[in-house]
Structure 1
């Protein structure tokens, strides 16, 4: 029973109807009509089971195409088990059956005479026990049998006989006009199809699962037959070519037979027309084609439509395939020469479309052809820009196969391996590297890129990756490379990425020397990475301005170039304006593009959400990133994600979880020399200790990153923990160390490097100043910085520290505003330990348990205008258009307005504004 249940998943409507059919009083007939493989036989089995459970006698029969021309062949099938009862009929009815069964001579009886005889026989049998006649494949019954069944079926009322017929809807049959009640059996819904697939084939990888669902289009037979066939073929969907043409999968023989005979019976010209449509991905059923460009329009294919292979699209009037299985069958029934000829014709049709033309040219070509290889290379470049890295890997691999020289083949294989690594196909990258390296020979520079990339991201092997990449760059330099080279650029960028993770001063110095010797051979963007990823304290000034131009037109950049530039933007804290673009791009890349770049994009999105105080969203992004990185076996990125989740947990006050993640990250990263992650692990410890109020532990963690008064070279967390070290030092009585560190930040010019560093530098100077005037001046510089509201956690900590200082030096009233702003921000961020600390300080000023800043802070004219427009229902974009501001600037102003008004949402704006005195905001 379990297997039957699986076969009728998603058939609640049909099962309810069939239950009524079996249990209702009186005789009746029912035709189950649907496409091949849709599950009619499974429903017939269910009717049989229900009837048996009701103590009905069951007689089954099945039409056979080979016997469809034999008179009474079908009738003979289901009456044969009832022959013993014929002897109890009268002589006239017995003679009719004798003729039908070949036991007597005479003219065949009329349909009416035979039908009455059959009715009497069935009534006689059913008088002893209710009877079910279950006929499958009724379309293959002979005409005479169908006429008798129709006659009988219309006259079963009042008897104890039930007749159920399974019928294919794509084959004309006399049952179509028999006027019997009909139950149409349609394909499964998307949800039911997915449930059936998961029930029978749990654990399919997402792309294979999606491919099978698209191909089956709700057909249960296809859902059951395709998975084992695909898996036996050894090609998971993630490895398949994401091509803009035919994307079907090889069909098992049972599914080929569904439409194969009808395809074979077509005229050669019509079959060729269908093949061109199939190979170009013409729509099928409710599915649509994939990829850009216009589909091939099939013409003069009425014969195929008449055969039930094509339908007419009601919107365009074009021919479309009746089902994806038709399309797949057409392709598989064609010979290799026929497929190549069709691809050649399609390449001409799509001569203006770079990708489609190249794809069809490649499929039509056997021998090496440099022009086709170049076309494929151009198509791969185009595909990567629109999130098609999976397709690019296939095209570059095929371009290598069609290359006319070893040098071109090696270069293209290297590019394929490079893209495969970024597409998350690390095993594929390794295969491509091996296929380009002959036994006993050194790796090519392109192969070094791929193998070092895999070693770095799969297992965090910074040492060997660094060694191999450095040697490859030095070899190219020593060989006298004279102009910018794609492989050289990839080596340079990979070296910079390896060094970023290593965070080792000696390695960076060697890299600077090497890149300096290359001069203009190093592209401008790589120089940005060199300065931003390494030591932002000493090399970060001016990076922000250089990034503006480089990021001006993101849609023209390859996904890995976007991520590298945005990583640089993160290091100088200017990532915020680019987060919306990253969020739009990331889903595309994770699906069919550069998955590894998508992982980095998720890291960047999470970091900006953390910085902006969108901590719930940051948590969701981090969890998504962790699922993605672990499922693709990117150990480095997985631990990178855990590090950020640990830092977020520490900020939010979940210090137990933070420390668990800290230990996990540190234990993996430290033996491998991944200094980038060990620094974040130390930062987690620092933040968790500060949250818990354990300032001694916080200080010890902080000086593990950098010593007071210095910023350890090439330690990216050194400037980022400036405020942490200063606070921890002050709370443990190390005022000299705190002041020395704040002054060092100012001398290093950190305010010019990034807006966040400006905020925390001025905040640190305010916290450590001995002169009250200097403290107030630096505090005002911090809180009035244009980007201060973009970093609410740091701003709230500065408010809190300044409020504590004011309470001790100027009295409780002076501290009230700063402490209230801190408390409300911490509460909005949902970090209980920090919020309680601020509230405790407020209570020490004599403030009530809860207070609002509405009486304490005034709105500027601009803030008041923005708040008024927002209260009126305008979006940030609409407000920005009216006031000539960017939506992000509008958001920043509203962020400052909310705590001033003592509210937390836009919905409360109107009431809050109504409580302000008339002179507010002027």
Structure 2
């Protein structure tokens, strides 16, 4: 190693980290050091920083501070300060969002993901000149907006010359569950190294004290250094180091003991420094002067510097170790702490009003409306800067200081609404519990009702819970708040889609929506009717969808609701068209939570149509839903990916995706039948593609059994054709015909487009010999005639029927057509089944057409399509929330897979094997 001095007992850990630095040109990494306080994480991190600098890395560092956790983007600003000037080269929206987060721009409410993307671009651009080390020390004390950005970057640096190294206190939850982080446990050093450290730092210890220090420290390096000082001074009794105390507590007591003998004015300065959320020494001295009632100068800090508790360069000051700060804060009496906060508030009032508001709030324990109002204003500023997480904390503190109960409730509800936007579900539940029983103003009662209705979408479909939402909607209508009433009813309708509480409850939702006196073509009304009574109201919904243009007259929110209405009623072509508008709008706005939902629904609509290229966007939906913490939509996307894999013949490779989705479904209060039905469909398709018909029938049959958790009243219709295939191959035609009759009764005389396709196909496949041919011809000329996937399935079934009835020559025509379509669609298993039927007629010699695009991952395919449309790497990166260098790396791998050498060849490479197109799909891609 060339940088820094070696650490006692850390050769293995330091060597492993330096090996990762060696491999930075091959792979970027995100590594976390986790261990107890004082165990040496920071020292190890500092050694890696020194080594990286010696190797020519650009090193960007930040250290979390317990007193700064409420300051939004404080740690991020530390990290970026050396390279912030590069922000002038960022795309305008990214630059404005980032600078707004730092209070350096007036952009209103920038999206947090745009801020994160800007940081990623800055870091990756810096890495073009030299590899980058991002060093984040004491991550558990960094502000949450900064930590969220760090997690975003960590998930996207694998292909970059970037290493993120973070240290986290054991027990902290900060990004500990993020799979992109590689966690390295840091424990105490070994006994020989501990002995050397004690002998070097405290050679005067008696053998008895030396033995006690080694035993009590347990290899913790900070304890090995501090305990000898504390015990040898006589200011720290034996009982203080009793073994039943946590290591952190013992160390804090050791630090307090070192401050007890210092001059009173020095202790006063240390207390103020411990409370301060900045590092400005002049700021600390000014506040200490206010508390002391006399001027406190630089000389007051010298004893603390001499004792090694404080470190200063004359302009800024910080504690030698974070435990010194926490120890001094806890040791100070409450009244003194309040005086310190009040003094800091006075000093900061002019230059830093938001920080002043926080300190003023910390200086009191009784309610104060002015202080609460100042905190609320600071929270609005945090929202404006995109620091939504910090705004929640500020609003909750403002609520606690509100003397008026109604104002307290209003501020708590504001915090809950922001937490809901962030997907912090447990926080919302906690705040709702605080608000329950409070006397609220009518408007705030409506806000609480909105939270109740929207937050719980899909989490519980118990009849009593759904009826409660209906009742709240009725109350809103009585106060002429129809918008709130409809919001509540949309939430209720979403619940009954996920899990059916019964026809009576579903009908009550529709009746309540009709009382809102909305126009028949109102997107909200159509969505409610489609979600709650898909079959009963299907013709009404589809009839009123027809006049709407695909972009809903430029209203993306309305288009999203229309897309949901079309999907739930089985009008998949319209659903794809409607949902494409909000997908593009939400992507441009950076609203990733809603984007994940729209992509997931559109992927399923495309899958049911047979537009498999578009259905691959389920992969993006899964990644975004995972990132934004939306487990239901992540599960929905996983199932779509697995179903698509089944069609392409991936056999059992997606079983883990389905198992994950199934676990999510069963974790909800009422098992989510919509997810479970999708899981069974995907498993059934996997077995059908492998010609394992018995297993396919067992999986698919569950969707049709009202007593099974996987029963879903609408999805059973869409799965009917696949069940019919399994029934025929297992000799269960009678059961299949009974189910067909049931579905015919459910769908009525005017079935949806999807229902019509399923019914026409199933009637033909399950028919007896006298009626089969006419029904096959009806299916070929029916609802699926212009949809390649559905027509090819009908051609395969018809050709197989003709061959079995010894009409060999006739059978070849539909079988050839089916094989060619399946091959073009990439449905290799189905193409092979058609080829086997053709071989049985005596025709052979077919070879599957090689399709280079099948070698692309879903993300690679998406990047290739966007590049073929003429988008630059930066434009693609901004759409997909990746760095532009990542896009470049993907294209570098894509070109040889497709057998091309330039972007100009992408269009031909992708379209040359595109096969039959789904009608209307040009408007989507």
What's the TM-score once normalised by structure 1's chain length? 0.50
- The equivalent position to 1:530 in structure 2, one of 528, 534, 538, is 528
1:491 pairs, out of 488, 493, 501, with 488
Q: Per-residue deviation at 1:602? A: 0.5
1:589 aligns with 628
Where does residue 635 of structure 1 map in the other structure? 669
**Are the structure 2 counterparts of residues 908 and 307 from structure 1 closer, same or farther at C-alpha, using a change threshold of 3 Å?**
same
**What is the alpha-carbon distance in structure 1 between the residues aligned to residue 275 and residue 228 of structure 2?**
28
Report whether the alignment pairs 1:468 with 2:468: yes
326 and 419 in structure 1: CA distance in 2 versus 1, 3 angstrom threshold: same
Aligned partners of 2:740 and 2:763 also within 8 Å: no
Match of 2:556 among 520, 542, 549: 549
How far has the Cα of 1:704 moved from its partner?
4.0
Could you list the per-position Cα deviations for residues 695-730 of structure 1 after superposition, in whole angstroms to 9, with x for gaps in the alignment? 7344544554454873789xxxx7545444332211
**Structure 2 Cα separation of the partners of residues 656 and 838 of structure 1:** 20
The change in CA–CA distance for 1:337 and 1:731 in structure 2 (over 3 A counts) is: same
Query: What's 2:407 paired with?
Result: 408
For residues 46 and 642 of structure 1, what CA distance do their matches in structure 2 show?
A: 56
The answer to whether the 8 A contact 2:643-2:685 is kept is: no
Q: How does 1:239-250 map to 2 (within 5 A)?
A: none
Question: Is 1:646 matched with 2:680?
Answer: yes
1:474 CA drift (Å): 1.3
Question: In the comparison of the two structures, how many residue pairs are matched?
Answer: 620
Change in Cα spacing, 1:64 to 1:582, as seen in structure 2 (3 Å) is same
Asked if the contact 1:647/1:683 (under 8 Å) is kept, the reply is: no
Following superposition, the deviation at residue 588 of structure 1 comes to 3.7
- Distance in 1 between the 2:468 and 2:810 partners? 63
* Structure 2 counterpart SS, 1:329: helix
Check 1:374–1:256 CA distance in 2 against 1; reply closer, same or farther (3 A cut). same
Q: Deviations over 1:598-632 (max 9, x none)?
A: 113303423553565488786554444455566xx
Q: In structure 2, what is the equivalent of residue 43 of structure 1?
A: 190
Native 8 Å contact 2:586 2:595 kept in 1? no
- C-alpha distance in 1, partners of 2:524/2:827? 37
Q: Deviations over 1:637-690 (max 9, x none)?
A: 6654433222211111177777777788888x859xx99835446766863553
Query: Are 2:632 and 1:600 aligned?
Result: yes
Match of 2:779 in 1: 767
- CA distance, structure 1, for counterparts of residue 228 and residue 541 of structure 2: 78
Residues 44, 35 of structure 1: alpha-carbon distance in 2 compared, 3 angstrom cutoff: farther
Give the Cα separation in 1 of the matches to 2:864 and 2:675: 33
Counterpart contact for 2:420–2:455, Cα < 8 Å? yes
Give distance in 1, aligned partners of 2:659 and 2:366: 48
Listed as ranges, the matches of 1:809-828 within 5 Å are 811=810, 814-815=813-814, 817-822=816-821, 824=823
Q: How does 1:568-583 map to 2 (within 5 A)?
A: 569=602, 573=606, 582-583=621-622
For 2:808 and 2:271, locate their aligned partners in 1 and report how far apart those are by CA, in whole Å.
91
Is 2:759 the counterpart of 1:725?
A: yes
- Listed as ranges, the gaps of 5+ residues in structure 1 are 1-7, 16-33, 49-59, 79-133, 141-164, 174-223, 230-250, 283-298, 591-597, 743-763, 784-792, 892-904
Other-structure match for 1:259: 255
Q: In 2 relative to 1, CA 557–430 (structure 1 residues): closer, same or farther, beyond 3 Å?
A: same
Secondary structure, counterpart of 1:852 in structure 2 = coil
Conservation of the 8 A alpha-carbon contact between 1:456 and 1:462: no
In the other structure, the counterpart of 2:44 is: none
Write the mapping of 1:846-861 to structure 2, written as runs, cut at 5 A. 846-848=842-844, 851-853=847-849
> Is 1:879–2:829 an aligned residue pair?
no
Relative to structure 1, the CA distance from residue 822 to residue 11 in structure 2 (aligned partners, 3 Å threshold; closer, same or farther) is same
CA displacement at 1:468 relative to structure 2: 1.2
Q: Which deviates more from structure 2 when the two are superposed, residues 406-415 or residues 353-362?
A: 353-362
Q: CA RMSD in A?
A: 6.7
One of 528, 536, 541 as aligned partner of 1:539 = 541
CA offset digits 1:421-440 (Å, max 9, x no partner):
8846569727734752279x
Q: Structure 1 residues 685 and 279 mapped into 2: Cα distance closer, same or farther (>3 Å)?
A: farther
Note the 1:772-811 alignment, pairs <5 A. 779=785, 781-783=786-788, 794=790, 797=793, 800-801=796-797, 811=810
Higher relative contact order (CA 8 A, sep 6+): 2
SS of residue paired to 1:677 = coil
How far apart are the structure 1 equivalents of 2:381 and 2:636? 25
CA distance in 1, matches of 2:371, 2:796: 66
Q: Residues 47 and 268 (structure 1 numbering): CA distance in 2 closer, same or farther, change over 3 Å?
A: closer
Q: Deviations over 1:122-177 (max 9, x none)?
A: xxxxxxxxxxxx7665999xxxxxxxxxxxxxxxxxxxxxxxx999457999xxxx
Matched residue, 1:328:
326
Q: Which runs of 5+ in 2 are unaligned?
A: 1-7, 16-35, 41-185, 230-241, 282-297, 558-581, 608-613, 881-893, 914-925
Per the alignment, residue 609 of structure 1 pairs with 641
Compared CA separation, residues 607 and 712, structure 1 to 2 (3 A) = farther
Q: 1:586 to 1:687 in 2, by over 3 A?
A: same
Q: Classify the secondary structure of the residue corresponding to 2:712.
A: helix
Distance 1:799 1:456, change over 3 A: same
Maintained 8 Å contact 2:9/2:190: no
Q: Which has the larger radius of gyration?
A: 1
The aligned residue for residue 162 of structure 2 is none
Query: Are the equivalent residues in 1 in contact too, given 2:379–2:390 (CA < 8 A)?
Result: yes
- Shift in Å at residue 471 of structure 1? 1.4
- Per-residue deviation at 1:515? 3.4
Matches of residues 143-158 of structure 1 in structure 2 within 5 Å? none
Distance 1:908 1:322 in 2: 54
SS at match of 1:635: coil
Q: What TM-score do you get using the length of structure 2 for normalisation?
A: 0.50
1:274-289 alignment, distance < 5 Å? 274-276=273-275
